[in-house]
Structure 1
Amino acid sequence: MADLTEAEANAGGRWWNADDVADVTEMLAARGSRLWQLMAPADLAAWVFEAPAPSPLDPAPDAVDGDWASGLDETGRQAWALAGWVARTVVPDATGTAGRYWILSHLDDAAPATLRLTVGMLEILGLYETGEEIWLRSHAAPILSAMDAGAVDLEEWQRRGIDVADDSTRTLAEDKVLLTCPDLATARWLLRQPPVIAGVRLLSCWVAAGPYSFESRYRPEVVARAWQASQLLDGEDPDALPGGGNGFDRPYTGVTTGDLPAQRSFDADAYRAGVDEHDRLCRTLIAHLSRSRLVAGSGLAGVHVDLAWRDVDGRQFIAEVKSVIDGNEVEQLRLGLGQVLEYRHRLAARGVAATAVLLVSRCTDPVWPAICAGSGVLLLTGEEEPTWRAKLMTAAVG
C-alpha cells in the first residue's frame, strides 16, 4: 500500500490511492479462477476499497423457511445478524457465490453454539452465539498502510479490548492477521473501519479464487437465516468513526489537581497551575460555544484532541489548548501547533476534514498568528475572548 503525503492527508486524503487499486488488480488477475468469470479483477479491486456497505438484501441467496429468530435471545439475534452482515459486506458477489465460494456454518453441537464464515479454503469469521468472542481474519496490508497513515489507532483498539496477532493458519501465513474482539458491540465498531473491511475483502478475494472443497457442507437455510437477520444492522449509523454524529467522542470532563500524582521530578506547583489553567481555557471555550448553542467535547474519531465540535452548518472544528505560564510561552506555542497539525493529519487520514484551532492563554509575539495561519491553523488567546466568535466564523468560511 502506498503512503500518503502530508498534503494529501491535509486535503482529506486517504490511506490508499489509485496505485493500490492497480496493484490489487494485478495481484488478483494472476490468480486463475472461475470466480473471475463472475467479476473482473479490476472491479473486485475497486470494491475492496469501497466503503463498508453490505450488498442488498434482495435478492437473497435462499428463502427463509419459518421464523429465523425462533429460540434465540437478543444476543443470539445480534450474533446471527453480525454473521449475515459480514457475509454481505466482505464476500465478493455474496448472493451469486453462496455455496460455490463461501459457506456459513452453524455448529450447534458445541457449547456455546458457533457461527463460522468460510470463504474458499479459509475461515474468515468465527463467533459464539453467546457473543462472548469474535475472531476475524484480514489481509495485513491495508491495516498496516492505514497505521502508517495514522488512520488506525492501536491504542484505541487496545482500550476496546481488540487483540491483533499473527495468524497461525498456513494460507497466506505471512500476509494476514487475526483480530479478536471481546463482544459483539466491539466487533461491530471494528467492522465499520474502512481499513479493516478492505483487509478482509482483500483476503476473501484472494482465497475465494483458490481450491474450494466445502460445497457438500453448504446449508442454504443457515445462510438465509443470517442473511435475513443482518437487516438488524443495516439501520446502524454507517459512520465508521466514533463521535461521527456529535462532532466529538465524549463529553469534556477536565483534569483536576486531585488527579495528579503527589511526587514529581519537577515543580509540582507549576505543573498543577498549568493543568488548572488548561482546564479553565477548555471550559471557557465550551461556555463560549454554548452561547451559540454549540456543544463541544473531547476526542474525535479516536484522536485525542482537547476539544472538538461542529458549527451550525455541520463543519468540524478541533482545538488544541495550551496553558501559558511564566517563561513557557514559546515552548507551548511550538508544542501546541505541532500537536494540532498532527491531529488534523490523523483525522484527514480517517476521512475527517477539520478546521484546526490553537487556543493559548496569551501570545505576546505578534508573529505567531501569521505562523499559525501559514499552516492553516487559527490562533486564539484567552485574553481576547470577545474576538473568538468572529474569528471562528471567518475560519469556517475560509
Structure 2
Amino acid sequence: MAGRRVRQAGLHLPGEPGPHNAITDVPGVEVGAVTLIEGSGPLRTGHGPVRTGVTAVLPRGRAGVGHPCAAGMAVLNGNGEMTGAAFVEEVGLLDLPIMLTNSHAVGACHRGVVDWVSAHVPQRAQRWMLPVVAETYDGFLNDINGDHVTPAVAAAAMDAARGGPVAEGSVGGGTGMNCYGYTGGTGTSSRQVPFGADRYTLGVLVQANFGARRELVVAGHPVGRRLTDDDLFAASAAVQPAGAGSVIVVVATDAPLLPGQCKALARRVPLGLARTGTSGSHFSGDLFLALSTAEQHVSGSQYPQPGDERLEQMSLVPWRHLDRFFEACAGGGGGRAQRAVRQRRDGRPRRPPGARTAGGAGAGDGAHRPVAGRCACPGGEVRASQYPLGVSTSMNSGSGSVPPRVTLSRLT
C-alpha cells in the first residue's frame, strides 16, 4: 500500500476533509518550514549529523501578525515545553507566530520571532512579546546540542509561510522525529464542520515524536505488537526508552470560539492520539494549543489609550453545539499522527499534490536553499544518500551513526 492513504486502502476515517486535508484549509492560516540536513556517521557535538529544523504556523498569515486570536491550551503530560503558555492561559489570546522545533532550539526560535516581528511588524514590537515555541526531542537522530538552529533559521521558516498544501513527514521541526518506532515528524489534516447555514473548517498540525512500537494501533487493530522485529528504538531503550520524545498539536478553526472553548477543544486532542495506541509516556511532553481565527474585533492586551474605554464583544458557537467540533478534533486525531509516520527509507517528506517548488507550506522537490550556512530545504526533499545504513543504538553517547529510516506504509 505504498503511497496510499487510509481511505484509498478501504479503511474508514470519520469526517469530510477540506480541499488540502491540512491546517491551511482554515482560511488565513499559513505554514512554513525550514529543514536542516547535513552530515552522516558518528555524532560529534557541534558538527553533526544534523537532522532538525523549524516549522512556523501563522494563524492569520504574515499579514495578520499582531491581530489576536482566541486561544487555549491543554497538557496531557508536562515533560515538555511550550513558551508563552502562561500568557495564553491568562488572557486567552494569541497574536504571534507559533514555532515548532527541537527541545534545545526553543531559545533560538523565541529570539527569531522577536527579531522577525521587530523587522516586519514594528508596531507590534513596541509591546512585550511572548512567542509560543513548542518542542519535541530529536536527539536520537540529530546533534541536538550542536546549536544548528539559529534565529535566522526561525525567521526563514516564517518567511516561507504560505497557504495551500503542507509537506509532511521529515520536514521542518519534525525532521529528526520518530513515532511508534518509525520515522515521525509533521502531519496535518482538516475536517469540515457544518453549523446552521454556515460551514466551518477545523484543521490540525501535529509534530509527532511519541509512542512505543508495541502500542501502535491502526483503525482499531493492534498491529504494533506484530511489527517489533526492526524496532531500533526499543533496542536502544538503555539510551532512550521506547515511547519517549513528545507530541505537539496545533488546532485551528474559523468557527467563532471563546478562549475557554478553545481550551476545551485542546483537551480533546489526546482522545484522538489515544486511538493510535499511545498511553502517554512519562518521558513524552504532550502539549496542545487550539485557536479560533474568527474575526472578533477585540484589541487584545494593548496598553490603554485616552478615549478607548469601550466594551468589546466576542461571538461564539453555543456550548451546546460544540460536540461536532470535538468530534472533528478527536475523531480524526489519530490520522494526523499517522500521516506523520513515514514510509520511505530515504526519509523524504511526502510532497503534497499540487505542491510548489519554492519554499513554503507546499514546497516540494528542488526547494533547497542555504540558510545559516547549512542545507535548508523549506518543505523540500531529503535525498536518500543523506541517510546512511549504518545502524547504532547509542546515538546519544556520541559513538553512533545515524540509523536508517525504517519502513511503514503510509497510513492516512
Same fold (TM over 0.5): no
Q: TM-score, normalised by structure 2?
A: 0.20
Larger radius of gyration, structure 1 or 2? 1
Q: Which has the higher strand share?
A: 2
Q: TM-score, normalised by structure 1?
A: 0.21
Q: Which has the higher helix share?
A: 1
